[in-house]
Structures are given as structure tokens and as C-alpha cells.
Amino acid sequence: MSHPHPELGTPPALKAGALRITPLGGLGEIGRNMTVFEYGDRILIVDCGVLFPEDEQPGVDLILPDFTYIRDRLDKIDGIVLTHGHEDHIGAVPFLLRENPDIPLIGSKLTLALIEAKLAEHRIRPYVLEVAEGDRERIGPFDCQFIAVNHSIPDALAVAVRTPAGMVVATGDFKMDQLPLDGRLTDLPAFAKLAEEGMDLLLVDSTNAEVPGFIPPERDISAALRNVFANADKRIIVASFASHVHRIQQVLDAAHEYKRKVAFVGRSMVRNMGIARDLGYLKVPGNMVVDVKQLDDLPDKDVVLICTGSQGEPMAALSRMANRDHQIRIVEGDTVVLASSLIPGNENAVYRVINGLTRWGAKVVHKGNAKVHVSGHASAGELLYFFNICKPRNLMPVHGEWRHLRAAADLGIATGVPRNRVVIAEDGVCVDLEKGVARIVGKVQAGYVYVDGSSVGDITEASLKDRRILGEEGFISCFVVVDSTNGKIVGGPSIQARGSGIDDAAFVPVTAKLQEALDRSAGDGVLEIRQVQQLVRRILGKWVADNYRRRPMILPVVVEV
């Protein structure tokens, strides 16, 4: 089993006849999925998604893959294959197309409709190639075959990429629900045919590799939803991903059965469900869907709201309802259903929302107390079955944290994949497929790129460290005016604290210390502002640490007159 090493160097030039696979996101994390395929001097990209920030990334809206590795070769990209329409697979496409809007997008009907709507907001009209399961398309030197897979969104596809170096199969996100709502099964016969041809490398979804057994069918949720509807006396508010068409279809079916009207809340939810309905993926009975403005005219017992915010996103509709920052006010007796899983890292945010909703009197139904969610990813039993069908010569687990990648690797080895043919990589690690063997050859830059408002990439790890210090410890500013000729103090020091828990009056002892040190420094001929600032920061910081055991940010402001 090969694995990355901290000292991996820059990969060598790609050998003639070899295929290079470089994940720029999606390994060691849940989200930001993006994989670069290189053959000759041409590039194919599979997925281009975002990662959502965690608590230690304050102020960040989205996290993108780092495009540095391909930035000077954007004209060499023959296309971006999108396996399905979830944000962690398509969310970064607008940011890449900003740099080169001529890159073609390849995907299924629903996937392309979702990304085209997103790109319209960025005023980008992409080149698109619509494909369906069974299709086979030549994209530059890459011969791509598309296979139906079942996931928590319709129209998901796996892709088999053939080059003279061999065949690589990327599953995308998938599971093997045998009773899917839309009747669209993961096409195991198609994978078996690829196995007969010879699957040189399998990139497999590892998200649920630690979960034993098989994932329950999506349709099992309907009983729990009907139970919620049967026992709710007032409004029902359902929070889900804005692209989870199957889940929302079941909510609509339950609402129809209990004669309730439904309103979609949140821009992405309204947009995506409109697309799904127009394309026939979402079946809406009669005139059941109403505009949110009509809700005031309806009794609470006849209302269902479907909104975003199931992951505790601070600006999503449900979070704002919990914070009393939304036009829809949670009242005693409302029922809120969180119809999704907890993405790792989001737990605290979700529980904050649950507590906020409960505070206002809502009954909150979630995965922990009712069967209102099943996963969209294959668990260990399904993966064993899948590996035995595919018989890959080399295996590279993707789409998961380290524990998931390891678990998927162990499952592959158990089914007969040679241990030395299993590659556990991480973002930026280059894997070359040559003469039937996949091996790690180097590593390229693949760090986080932060989106904060309209800025992309301007926020650094140092910036986030400063934000965390400000959020946890506050800051202390010290204002000093000095004579530019002799360095003596002519005003201040004036000290103020914000968020540090220290009253301004408490700084009287250290003010005298600062004055003495600054006078001594001026007498020694230290006149440069930067040196004076460092002196203020050192004395003030040490005093706070010694007396309060805190490390706030110290902001010395020195002005010359």
C-alpha cells in the first residue's frame, strides 16, 4: 500500500504513454472534489467543487481547490466532466471559468441545468455537452464512457476514462439503492463489462467505507415523514440540501397526502426546485406549491416550508429563523425537520441551530431521533460487492477523510486487490498510471483558496490566525505620539481594549512602564517607528500575559509630529 510522504518533491515530467492523475481536492476532506487527468499535454478535469468552512475559518464563505497547478495550462483543458450536481462537485466551476470561460462542461441534463443557472449569476455562458448513461464521447485524447449511478440527486454518473495508458474509472458519489425513487439503479452490469475489459485504476467514493452493511433505501424515509405530518398541529419546516430532489419529492408527496400547501424558501432552493420541476425530475401534484408571500393567508396547519440550512450555514434560511433574523418567525408548536446528515465539521453549527429553534418552541426532528435521512454514499457491504464486480488492478480511494480512505483501501485488499496496488494519496499528490501500475511520483501545490465576500484567494492562513485571535482574545490598541526629531513622547500612551475582558482603567500601571521604556529608548537614539512599535507590543503583551494569562492582539499605533 503506497501512501504520501511529507518530503515528496515536484513530480518529474510525464512520460510518453503514461497517464497522470492529480486530485486537487476531495482527499482527506468531505468536499472540494476535483481531479486532474493528464495525457500528453492535454488535460481532463473530473468535478470542480467547493468545501464549506468550519469554525476555525471565521468569515470564510467557501473554500476552493487551488488552481495553481493548471493555471498556466488552462488552454490545454479539453473539458470538465461533472459527475452530479451537488455543490461539493460543481460549486467551484464559476471560479475556474472566470479564468477561462471557453472550457467545455460535460454532464447529464440535470447537472448541466444546475451549473448553467449558477453560471448565469456570474454572467458566464458555458460550452456544454450533455451526456447520459451509456454514452461514449471522445474528449481530446480521453475516451470517456458514462455509467449510471444512484446517489442522493438524480442523473448522477460515473465515468470511465480510456487512454493508451489504460482505463481509469471514477465513480463520483454513489450508492447501490435497490429501490430508488426514480427507478434508476447503479448500473452494475456496465461496471462488470468494464471489469471484463480490464479496469486498470478505480477511483472509488470512500465516504461511508467505515459504515457496516448496506444503506437503507431512500423510500424508507417516507414512513417517518408521514408520522411527522400526522402529528404536527402547526407549520412544518423541512431543511434540506437545495439539490436533494429525491428527499424533497417525498416531502411533497407527504404534503399532498395531508392536504398541505408547500412554499420553497431560499434563493438556491427556489432556483433548483424550479429547474428540477421544469425538467421533470420533481413531480409536483396539482397547485400545491405556493409563493412564500401567500403563507399569511393560510392556516398554520395547512403549511409546509422547504428551506436551506440543514448544515447550520449562518446565512441560510433555517439559521436565520433560529436567530430571529428572517421574515418567517418560529413559534411555539412549529415542527422543524432536518432531512440530512451532519457533514463532519458542521456538528457545532447544526446543534446551535437546533437549540435556537427549540428555544422558540419548535419541535426539531433530525437523524438522531427519527429516520428522516439515509446516506447517498455506499457503505462497506456495498463497496465489497462493488469491488468484487469491478476487480480493479489498482485502487485509489477518493472522496473522504483519512479514516474513510484507509477503510476503503482495507476493503479493496480484502477482495483481492494486491496491497502494493492500493494507493492512498492526498490532495496534490500525483499518481502516474504506467504499464498497468499506479504509483505516486510527486506532489504539487493544492492548498485551500478562501472566498470571503467578493475576494478570492486574498485571505491567507495568517489572516485566519489573526481572526481567531481577535475572536477568542480580542485586541488592545496603544496610541503614542512622538517627536520626529528626538523620539520623545508628546502624546499618550493611550490604551484601549476591545473583546479582551480587560477594563481600560486597568492599564494605568503599564502606561507608566511604557512611558519610562519609550523615554529610555529615545535617549538611546531609537527613532524608527517600526522599532518603537515593537517595543510597545513587547512590553504591553508581556504585561497582559503576566497579569491576565491572555494573549490578545496588540496594535501599537505610533505617530510622528
**What pLDDT was estimated at residue 4?**
54
Residue 374 assigned to a binding site: yes
**What pLDDT was estimated at residue 403?**
94
- Run of H or E residues at 468: helix 461-473
Are 266 and 242 in contact, with CB atoms under 8 Å apart?
Answer: yes
Query: CA-to-CA distance for 543 and 72, rounded, in angstroms?
Result: 50
**What pLDDT was estimated at residue 541?**
86
Average pLDDT over residues 136-143: 97
Confidence of residue 255 (pLDDT cuts 50, 70, 90): very high
Least confident of 52-61, 88-97, 176-185, 251-260: 52-61
pLDDT tens-digit series, residues 155-181:
999 999 999 999 999 999 999 999 998
**What pLDDT was estimated at residue 405?**
96
Residue bearing the bigger pLDDT, 492 or 226: 226
Residue bearing the bigger pLDDT, 138 or 503: 138
> Which neighbouring-strand residues pair with 264?
306
Confidence of residue 5 (pLDDT cuts 50, 70, 90): low
**Percentage of the chain surpassing pLDDT 70?**
93
Query: CA-to-CA distance for 497 and 499, rounded, in angstroms?
Result: 7
**What pLDDT was estimated at residue 389?**
97
DSSP notation for 409-465: HHHHHHTT--GGGBB---TTEEEEEETTEEEEEEE-----EEEETTEES---HHHHH
**What pLDDT was estimated at residue 326?**
83
Find the helix packing angle between 221-231 and 245-257, rounded to 10°: 40
Confidence of residue 55 (pLDDT cuts 50, 70, 90): low
**What pLDDT was estimated at residue 551?**
83
Query: CA-to-CA distance for 210 and 418, rounded, in angstroms?
Result: 20
**Percentage of the chain surpassing pLDDT 90?**
55
Residue 296 has pLDDT above 90, yes or no: no
In this structure, what DSSP letter does residue 101 have?
A: T
Residue 416 has pLDDT above 90, yes or no: yes
Computed over every residue of the chain, the mean pLDDT equals 89
Amino acid at 449: V
In this structure, what DSSP letter does residue 30 have?
A: S
Query: CA-to-CA distance for 405 and 310, rounded, in angstroms?
Result: 26
Residue 536 has pLDDT above 80, yes or no: yes
Query: CA-to-CA distance for 180 and 186, rounded, in angstroms?
Result: 10
Query: CA-to-CA distance for 250 and 282, rounded, in angstroms?
Result: 10
Query: CA-to-CA distance for 246 and 228, rounded, in angstroms?
Result: 18
Average pLDDT over residues 481-503: 79
Residue 376 assigned to a binding site: yes
Average pLDDT over residues 487-502: 79
pLDDT tens-digit series, residues 178-217:
999 899 999 999 999 999 999 999 999 999 999 999 999 9
Q: What is the pTM of this model?
A: 0.84
pLDDT tens-digit series, residues 427-476:
999 999 999 999 999 999 998 888 776 667 667 777 777 667 676 778 88
Are 397 and 171 in contact, with CB atoms under 8 Å apart?
Answer: no
DSSP notation for 138-173: EETTEEEEEEE-B-SSTT-EEEEEEETTEEEEE--S
Provide the H-helix boundaries in 65-220: 68-71, 87-90, 93-99, 109-121, 188-197
**What pLDDT was estimated at residue 318?**
83
**What pLDDT was estimated at residue 343?**
65
Are 400 and 27 in contact, with CB atoms under 8 Å apart?
Answer: yes
Residue 91 assigned to a binding site: no
Residue 213 assigned to a binding site: no
> How many angstroms separate the Cα of 526 from the Cα of each of 142, 478, 510, 533?
66, 18, 20, 11
HSE-CB at 146 with a 13 A cutoff on CA atoms is 23
Residue 346 has pLDDT above 70, yes or no: no
Phi, psi of 289 (to 5 degrees): -85, 130
CA 132 to chain centroid: 26
pLDDT tens-digit series, residues 118-129:
999 889 999 999
Q: Residue holding cell 463532519?
A: 344
Query: CA-to-CA distance for 300 and 304, rounded, in angstroms?
Result: 9
**What pLDDT was estimated at residue 323?**
83
Confidence of residue 260 (pLDDT cuts 50, 70, 90): very high
Average pLDDT over residues 290-316: 82
**What pLDDT was estimated at residue 454?**
64
Query: CA-to-CA distance for 353 and 372, rounded, in angstroms?
Result: 17
Query: CA-to-CA distance for 19 and 1, rounded, in angstroms?
Result: 20
Which own/partner pairs from 104-107 qualify as long-range (CB within 8 Å, at least 24 positions apart)? 104/78, 104/79, 104/80, 104/128, 104/129, 104/139, 105/79, 105/80, 105/129, 106/79, 106/80, 106/81, 106/82, 106/131, 106/137, 106/139, 106/144, 107/81, 107/82, 107/83, 107/131, 107/157
Average pLDDT over residues 488-502: 80
